A and B are shown apart, each in its own frame.
Chain A
Amino acid sequence: MAQALPQLDDVALVRAMAAGDSGQPLTAFYERFAGRTMALLQRMLGSRAEAEELLQDVFVELWRRAPQYDAARAKVSTWVVTIARSRALDAIRSRKRRGGEHKQVDEASMRAPESQRPDVAAAQSQRGARVREALAKLTDVQREALELSYFEGLSHREIAERIDAPVGTVKSRIIAAMKVLRDTVEGVES
């Protein structure tokens, strides 16, 4: 009996898409990752409208790049985040060139998807707790430097100017923060 698509793991879904199936695998993949991708885009762009516009581009790109996905190099969730973040940074840079500014997120527009499988939600909740635990281990200045780099795509120099600290200090804080997160991920996976 064929395995129901929602039960396929992330890698199997990507492989089904890579095989050219734009039907149920794409739907299941979208339902699994659209909510968090939308949240990431909105967090980075500060605009729900821009995030909605970019969401479509990101998923079309994910479908087109599915044959190139390499499970040895990244988990599927990391691959999705990497592509979404890259597109969002493109949009931010494009906005900067046009003289635009970072927009404020309309918090009221943020809400979780209504339909979510309980097992997935539970797993995400457990992992989310570990994520929050890891982030809580970061000092305020580490987290600030990392978020400016990761979410806003600022260079060391730009971050240094923003937080009034030497460039070397900015780098050190980001490296230290990443090591804390890496150690936590290894704790979760092991």
Chain B
Amino acid sequence: MTEPDRERLETLAALVAGGAATPQEHRELDAFVDAHPEAAAEAKAFADAAAMLAEDIGEVAPPPNALAAIRAAVVAGTEREDSPRHAGAQIIAIAERRKKLAYGVAVVAAAAAAVFAMLWNQAREDAGILDARMWQQAYDARTELAREVGRADQAELELDRMRRHFGVATSPQLRLASVANAERGSHAKILIDPDGRRWLVVAHELPPAPPGKDYQMWIVPKGEGAVPIPAGLLRADGDVLQVEVALPPNVDAGAAAISLENAGGVDAPTDVQMIGPI
């Protein structure tokens, strides 16, 4: 590495670590690291230095129930981001949360029914002091309340999803890419938010996946022989298929692809339908 190269590397590593680099400077540093093994050590040194800023803050006691909540979330979502089912596919996570919400609503309704039954029996034993119609109204009110809570939670989840999509679409650095298959005449658009390292992939003309199959998204890192990274399953949303992708750290995507795989996804693509540069 020449001295000017070394100085440029220092500048780039300092800017990236300090959170002050532009997307182009990020890419330039990645290129340095790819080209010069010793550059990785320099970038690491600056990253460690930047982390010192955080260490200077000290420590703040976390909430007492946080670890239990984290463990519950980890156990509930036993599959990791690097597993094909869940790689970056927050839409799937939302679907699972919706199922849990629906289950939660059912549990609340069942609990309300049980309470109602208990109170009903008690009331009967107490010689029917209370009017049965009042108990029925209370039961109906509880059931309706549980339904409304479930709807509100679902609406909030949907709003979160739309906010993320809106964030990608309104990113100041927004870029548009596409993957396509000329023979099949199919293509998908990819909205890229380089700052947030998120993609929103939308496919308008894909035929529905056959039974037992799913369309799976892939990130193809730059570099010769790079192994594609599973990035989630495309899901129907209205008349389009889409998936939201969160790029793993330290991955510089050179291309993207969509493949047709067995339901649930696989570790490595087998039937690539569309591919294109990023």
Question: Is A179 among interface residues, defined by CB-CB distance under 8 A?
Answer: yes
Is the pair A60, B53 in contact by a Cβ cutoff of 8 Å? no
The interface centre, meaning the residue of B10, B45, B51, B56 with most chain A CB atoms within 10 A of its CB, is B51
Q: A42-B60, A67-B80, A85-B19 are in contact. Are A175 and B11 (CB under 8 A)?
A: yes
- Report A155-190 residues with CB < 8 Å from chain B CB: 155-156, 159, 170-171, 174-175, 177-179, 181-182, 184-186, 189
Question: Is A43 among interface residues, defined by CB-CB distance under 8 A?
Answer: yes
| Least CB distance, B190 to chain A, in whole angstroms | 19
Contact with B20, one of A35, A38, A65, A149 (Cβ below 8 angstroms): A149
- Report A138-165 residues with CB < 8 Å from chain B CB: 146-147, 149-151, 153, 155-156, 159
- Taken together as a complex, chains A and B put the C-alpha atoms of A182 and B15 apart, in Å, by 12
Residues of A contacting B77 with CB < 8 Å? Answer: 60, 64
- Which one, B67-75, B149-157, B181-189, B262-270, is touching chain A? B67-75
Question: Is A94 among interface residues, defined by CB-CB distance under 8 A?
Answer: yes
- Taken together as a complex, chains A and B put the C-alpha atoms of A55 and B270 apart, in Å, by 38
Question: Is B248 among interface residues, defined by CB-CB distance under 8 A?
Answer: yes
Residues of B contacting A83 with CB < 8 Å? Answer: 249
| Least CB distance, A80 to chain B, in whole angstroms | 8
Is the pair B20, A97 in contact by a Cβ cutoff of 8 Å? no
Is the pair A38, B59 in contact by a Cβ cutoff of 8 Å? yes
Is the pair B58, A185 in contact by a Cβ cutoff of 8 Å? no
Question: Is A8 among interface residues, defined by CB-CB distance under 8 A?
Answer: no
Is the pair B59, A39 in contact by a Cβ cutoff of 8 Å? yes
Question: Is A50 among interface residues, defined by CB-CB distance under 8 A?
Answer: no
**Interface bracket on B:** 35 or more
Residues of B contacting A175 with CB < 8 Å? Answer: 10-11, 14-15, 18
Residues of A contacting B134 with CB < 8 Å? Answer: none
Q: Per-residue CB proximity of B47-60 to A under 8 Å, as 1/0?
A: 11111111111111
Is the pair A150, B50 in contact by a Cβ cutoff of 8 Å? yes
Question: Is B223 among interface residues, defined by CB-CB distance under 8 A?
Answer: no
Number of interface residues, chain A, beta carbon within 8 A:
82
Question: Is A12 among interface residues, defined by CB-CB distance under 8 A?
Answer: no
Q: Per-residue CB proximity of B3-16 to A under 8 Å, as 1/0?
A: 00000001101110
| Least CB distance, A45 to chain B, in whole angstroms | 12
Is the pair A65, B81 in contact by a Cβ cutoff of 8 Å? yes
- Taken together as a complex, chains A and B put the C-alpha atoms of A27 and B18 apart, in Å, by 30
Question: Is B213 among interface residues, defined by CB-CB distance under 8 A?
Answer: no
Question: Is B254 among interface residues, defined by CB-CB distance under 8 A?
Answer: no
Residues of B contacting A65 with CB < 8 Å? Answer: 80-82, 248-249
Residues of A contacting B58 with CB < 8 Å? Answer: 36, 39, 110, 112, 128
Q: A35-B62, A94-B167 are in contact. Are A182 and B51 (CB under 8 A)?
A: no
| Least CB distance, A32 to chain B, in whole angstroms | 11
The interface centre, meaning the residue of A40, A86, A124 with most chain B CB atoms within 10 A of its CB, is A40
Q: A26-B71, A67-B80, A111-B61 are in contact. Are A182 and B56 (CB under 8 A)?
A: no
Is the pair A132, B56 in contact by a Cβ cutoff of 8 Å? yes
Is the pair B18, A146 in contact by a Cβ cutoff of 8 Å? yes
8 extra interface residue pairs, beta carbon distance < 8 Å, beyond A26-B71, A113-B62: A59-B70, A67-B82, A72-B44, A94-B163, A114-B61, A128-B56, A170-B20, A185-B49
Q: Which residues of A contact B (CB under 8 A)?
A: 22, 26-27, 30, 34-40, 42-43, 48, 51-52, 55-56, 59-61, 63-68, 70, 72-75, 77-78, 81-86, 89-90, 93-94, 97-98, 109-114, 116, 124, 127-128, 131-132, 134-135, 146-147, 149-151, 153, 155-156, 159, 170-171, 174-175, 177-179, 181-182, 184-186, 189
**Can you list the 7 inter-chain pairs with the closest CB atoms, starting with the nearest?**
A35-B59, A178-B14, A181-B49, A64-B81, A182-B49, A39-B60, A78-B51
